[in-house]
Chain A
């Protein structure tokens, strides 16, 4: 019963996309969601400021925040949730998947330190919001989604929005995308029990990989994997929250 509902929801998204996009692009100047989006970016900035001590910086990279301010997140959520599209919270997108909380997306993107010439790989396209944010900042994004209908709707959505530097594929992303490897940036959003060794192999020396660890609506922490120039691999575990476990500590 649930699966039918989810499928129906996706169908509705697809129909909605056709209906909504011409309007959205035509009315770019007086985008009714512009204010909501600006509020979302402000909320992310405030949250970052609150966690400054923990993250070791008072703000995320300006270009990341600008990208967050450009991507129309409301078009990446199911149409019935459009009004909630800019809330700083995760939302369901069907098939048991979610679109991440904007703060987490911003934090992950910032940790990846994207550069204009970078090539990125993403395992787990989902709503394709993360891919779109990355596409604003890097040269190419290759993204793989297990669930074919999600991959299809993501490809359509990105095309309509003009993200022609993103390539979506449906299938198994465990072995990366050897034709386009190595990658400067890798994001693994599909919940995984481990980091697929082929992805570590396809990470360029000096490259960075980010993995959110947790369950669908609760990101427990972020795993940042770095490959040094000499090929050695280290990781950092970053709690997205200032939380010092010892009272009077830190």
Chain B
């Protein structure tokens, strides 16, 4: 057995095939996240993918046990597995979306967990297949682990980058076909490389042709995602004659505009019960099949825009210059124009939204708002505000996410950099004297994020040296929305009188303004107790901490380091809510959080099984391994690296997101950049070993990571602040310059370990590879879990500790 490593086939083609396969796998991960976010909901998408990726761990275990026969027929096993990935990637998705899994019913229906398990199983197959090929390649080429890992990582990095572009260029179904073809090509290279018997060669050619043809031959409707019937788009399309009139695909989502002539779409979140009229007939706008919003013709009767809580700030500033953050379908832009704004700047993250609105408006009789009065900017709200030197009388943060998602708490784990202490502070800095920042959110009962928002705003004002933040804050609520206004200066008697008059006219309730008494709160939309007022008074009072400690939901302000604005579930409250299931307690459970914990637990259990199971088979081979490292060292070393690499990747994506100014740049620059640099580092391990002399190279690499990473924790905020105002290309260059050195070092420990292990105990190589894969899978949810509780900086800290730990337990400390 031990001798097999030496005889294992090593072909140059394998290196190219590994790069292709890695590119396919990473592209498939990103694509699946998009596809499943459309079919189900995005938080389920992450869980399903996280668990399906355990197919990687399973492959490690399988190769560990069956390596003899698999290696003997390397060409066929690698080629077959890669072809299997190519065919499996589109087929598994088609099969997965035909399963009757209904995420909403999971708490009610005992069959649903079984369907979820079936989903995992189906989607894990392509990952298992690809990982079989990769694990075999590492087993066969352990001596050249650095060079192989270089191809692996660089392929993955380019795959991520390529998928971002593909999502922009192709419909999702075609992107899925591309992944299939890449997989088949990877298998084809290995099957055809070098000489073989003619019959075998013919078989290989046939298999490759089939592999390449299959993705193209699959019917479109198998591969196109069909949203769950419970999502907004599906529901809208159940109306007679309703149809999609325009759509856009992009890496930020699938946008669909729906016209419904028989039962017209009318969207006016939280319209006052006293509104004289509702919205005019609109075009529905859906993102990923959910998150309904609307495109309103600008020349229609827009009086309904006066009767929503979000109209409040127009009673506090006259003829304002307005900045709308989140242009979306245009509701806030129209509101500004309707209220005679002097000028409007509208910021929208997704250029597809603007293009779609333009197309829809052009295609209908309704007039658009685009042309004269409004300047649109494609940008992220944060970086737009940070780079701008202008000032506005009103900055309006639009309500662009959907109510049902907010109500069900599925946003809980969305990092939102819009509602943090730092973000609100930056927006406040852009207010003209006497200006107002307005934030409208969905109302949740019992009060949760509205109180959290107040606390966040309080902290933002305090950070700007405001001694009495409560006098600059005011909040009202309707039955479905709350609107917070933050003043550049304290709200005086006149402003408060106007605010009260507006609220009274539309039967909105006062949640907070300076001097508000309890008897004035909770009058129109009555709750059993004036909980909003009491919560607001406590949060803005002397002891918010004490109140928060007694409150059953987490209210602490969100920060850039813990940007989980939507998360408010406390562990201690969970059992109570689950016990209240029959009485209607479930909607208070934050599903995003429950799912994260479920993912973590499922992942950890499956990983433990996958790591321990092969030991039963490997034990019998012990005698043949001359002096082998202790197995616990192998586990600790490779698990630490798996956890730590992803920790750094995730923490950096988070850190760089605001700086780079776009979530796609975070993927393209940070994810792809780190992977490519790490690949280059992996390719340089032999040089490092020569340079290291008597020092173990792994210790050097780990020391570099710990020192460099530690320095980054201190330096990054400083660098970001200095370079924030630079143009995007310069900021990308800065980001790459920062990521380069640490990425280079990050690529070294894993292949160094694998190579050393390969020299002493080649049979353990696939097992070690599997341990690393399992740990990487658990790592993503673990990183979010840690960040949720203590922040992203500690995630980075944990990663550095893990690298130090890995260096301390290097597996070639040989057991005698």
Contacts and interface: CB of A to CB of B under 8 A. Distances in A.
A168 interface: no
Contacts of A247: 550-552
Contacts of B276: 197
Give the contact-size bracket for chain B. 35 or more
A187 B130 CA distance: 54
A65 B218 CA distance: 54
A197 B278 contact: yes
B176 interface: no
A36 interface: no
Nearest to B407: A220
Contact of B584 (A103, A170, A234): A103
B229 interface: yes
A237 B582 contact: no
Interface string B258-283: 00001110111111011111110000
A22 interface: no
Contact of A218 (B525, B553, B580, B587): B587
Given A148-B240, A194-B271, A96 B262 contact: no
Contacts of B528: 54, 238
B64 to A, nearest CB: 39
B588 interface: yes
Contacts of A1: 97-98, 221, 226
A60 interface: no
Given A6-B229, A95-B229, A101-B584, A194 B102 contact: no
Interface string B455-479: 0000000000000000000000001
Given A197-B277, A216-B104, A245 B479 contact: no
Contacts of B387: none
Given A217-B105, A247-B552, A248-B550, A242 B583 contact: yes
A59 interface: no
Given A147-B239, A237-B527, A218 B583 contact: no
Interface stretch (A12-20, A85-93, A134-142, A159-167): A85-93
B284 to A, nearest CB: 11
Interface string A213-250: 11111111101010000000111111111111111111
Interface stretch (B230-238, B389-397, B759-767): B230-238
Interface in A104-142: 104
Interface string B695-739: 000000000000000000000000000000000000000000000
Contact of A194 (B221, B264, B270): B270
A197 to B, nearest CB: 5
Given A96-B231, A147-B239, A223 B479 contact: yes
Nearest to A174: B266
B445 A172 contact: no
Contacts of A96: 228-231, 234-235, 238
A193 B292 CA distance: 10
A94 B404 CA distance: 19
A50 B273 contact: no
Contacts of B268: 193-194
A103 B105 contact: no
A236 B507 CA distance: 12
- Most central of B229, B270, B279, B576 by chain A CB within 10 Å: B229
Contacts of B588: 241, 243
A58 interface: no
A235 B445 contact: no
A237 B273 contact: no
A244 to B, nearest CB: 8
- Most central of A195, A225, A241, A242 by chain B CB within 10 Å: A241
Contacts of A198: 278
A214 B445 contact: no
A195 B230 contact: no
A146 B479 contact: no
A234 B407 contact: no
B108 A90 contact: yes
A97 to B, nearest CB: 8
Nearest to B447: A245
Contacts of B523: 234
- Most central of B97, B269, B275, B584 by chain A CB within 10 Å: B584
A235 B526 contact: yes
Contact of B583 (A215, A234, A237, A241): A241
A245 B553 contact: yes
A146 B236 CA distance: 10
Interface string B499-540: 000000001000000000000000111111101000000000
A191 B550 contact: no
Given A51-B583, A234-B524, A245-B552, A172 B278 contact: no
Contact of A245 (B97, B262, B273, B446): B446
Interface string A193-209: 11111101000000000
B282 to A, nearest CB: 11
Given A197-B276, A215-B104, A217-B108, A3 B229 contact: yes
A178 interface: no
Give the 9 A-B residue pairs with the shortest CB-CB distance, closest first. Answer: A194-B271, A240-B584, A215-B404, A96-B229, A245-B446, A218-B587, A220-B587, A172-B263, A217-B104
25 contacts: A2-B234, A47-B583, A89-B108, A95-B235, A146-B239, A146-B240, A146-B263, A148-B240, A170-B240, A191-B404, A195-B273, A196-B278, A200-B273, A215-B587, A218-B408, A218-B586, A218-B587, A235-B507, A236-B525, A237-B479, A237-B525, A241-B580, A242-B580, A243-B446, A243-B576
Interface of A: 1-3, 6, 43, 47, 50-51, 54, 88-90, 92, 94-97, 101, 103-104, 146-148, 170-172, 174, 191, 193-198, 200, 213-221, 223, 225, 233-250
Given A236-B527, A243-B552, A250-B529, 20 more contacts: A2-B234, A92-B105, A95-B235, A96-B228, A171-B263, A193-B292, A195-B273, A215-B104, A215-B408, A217-B104, A217-B230, A219-B587, A234-B524, A235-B479, A235-B525, A236-B526, A237-B527, A238-B528, A242-B580, A243-B580
